[in-house]
Chains A and B, each alone.
Chain A
């Protein structure tokens, strides 16, 4: 719609930034991805969860992470914690259901690990998966890359 382009370019000139298409974010091959930009690394019934490079890039510098308690229950598609970046707190949703068996307490002192190492040191929780079938509703790396491309192209 014309109005969308108009406000986007008005906003851009307002803020004196140029609109150009972004380069690719990193996507790791063997992980599973949700449509709210979380990744899941499956190791038997244990699943490590974090947010993707695409997500951390759009959020900005993470200054605080609200972690859940160990022992709490995660539910697929529901929020389990949040990250704070400039002025905003954003929910993090779990790609799978199950008991939270570990949280990354390093993030308390170093929330920036999510920006610097979103797929490794910036992992957020580990879940004991209750239903492996839930993995089928997640995307693989190729599908996720395409998903991100389509999202960015729409805006």
Chain B
């Protein structure tokens, strides 16, 4: 039995659970179980899960979020967790802090996404502002505009969980398993993973200083009671919970579904006519380079002579001539006019 700390007058109790080398799947089972079956407040701090693992939010679809070919090849586990939010790839360098609270634990805090996000942001801001230019940017934790912490929440009738994966350190190679998300915060500005993220260890002197600072900050709102993992019993059972490790079959089906649409239609309806054609495919427009390489296409119903257009452009403009062909795949049985 852990030694009880002196109860701070008037503050609700929060159990502090510190773990190392616990696989993320077990940690998520535990968190979901504590959220739904416990009536106490919890703080779980964990790191050292060794296998790189992809963790998607509750509505995550692998075909949209994950590079399935290398993931299947390298047998990277893919988990769908019970909370909302985006996709992360976690490894040995990831640090997790999860807060599970009763809705009345923090006076004046409404149990909705935005208030919880700003309250926790303010908590971590207290800890981290001395190490860097800390910001809560559209639900992420960032130094300047570089993200180092991703957040997710699950809110039930009288309780909520807010958990964060902190990039203490990360292996840039692992980011190749993730697609660039279609749903991204505006401040990301279409940057690649490595341009968008930063490592906490480049700002904060040690993991311990961050962890101790967080516990101290929580101590302003709760009476912290250290809790032993052994007191909780087995972590292998998941209740009829939403956290799920995706099977290899599910990942393979997601991969094949990517291949069944456009490519077979090309093979059936275009390739036969290409026997004698000479075609060069070049795609110059890359949406991810953003404003550096814009392509503007001007269309007008007016018949404007070329000379008139040139007269309003600056003297330094450069001209080139290109021929483009738009190829449309008309599904079999469809009428050209109706499409």
Contacts and interface: CB of A to CB of B under 8 A. Distances in A.
* Main DSSP-derived SS at the A contact region: mixed
Contact of B84 (A7, A36, A86): A86
A10 B122 CA distance: 8
B85 A87 contact: yes
B156 A155 contact: no
A30 interface: no
Interface stretch (A58-66, A95-103, A130-138): A58-66
B113 A90 contact: yes
Contact of A93 (B112, B116, B117, B157): B157
Contacts of A15: 118, 121, 136
Nearest to A36: B157
A151 B139 contact: no
Contacts of B122: 7, 10-11, 14
B284 interface: no
A88 B156 contact: no
Given A84-B59, A86-B139, A8 B108 contact: yes
B58 A64 contact: yes
Contact of A87 (B82, B109, B125, B139): B139
Given A11-B122, A89-B82, A89-B153, A84 B112 contact: no
Given A15-B118, A88-B84, A89-B83, A155 B151 contact: no
- Chain A contact-residue range equals 20 to 34
A37 B302 CA distance: 55
Interface in B118-166: 118-119, 121-122, 125, 136, 139, 151-157
Given A88-B84, A89-B154, A155-B115, A66 B58 contact: yes
B114 interface: yes
B84 A85 contact: yes
Given A88-B154, A89-B155, A11 B121 contact: yes
B107 interface: yes
A64 B157 contact: no
B113 to A, nearest CB: 4
B57 interface: yes
Nearest to B122: A11
A146 interface: no
Interface in A2-33: 3-5, 7-8, 10-11, 14-15
B281 to A, nearest CB: 33
Residue among A7, A89, A154 having the largest count of chain B Cβ atoms under 10 Å: A89
B87 to A, nearest CB: 12
Contact of B107 (A1, A66, A87, A88): A1
B222 to A, nearest CB: 13
A91 interface: yes
B159 to A, nearest CB: 10
A14 B136 contact: yes
Interface string B68-85: 000000000000001111
B186 to A, nearest CB: 12
B189 interface: no
A138 to B, nearest CB: 15
B102 to A, nearest CB: 15
B112 A89 contact: no
Contact of A4 (B58, B59, B107): B107
Nearest to A15: B118
A110 interface: no
Given A66-B58, A86-B113, A91-B156, 10 more contacts: A7-B119, A8-B108, A11-B118, A79-B156, A84-B59, A85-B84, A88-B83, A89-B58, A89-B153, A154-B108
15 contacts: A3-B107, A10-B122, A11-B122, A14-B125, A58-B112, A63-B59, A77-B157, A79-B157, A85-B84, A87-B83, A89-B58, A89-B82, A90-B155, A91-B157, A155-B108
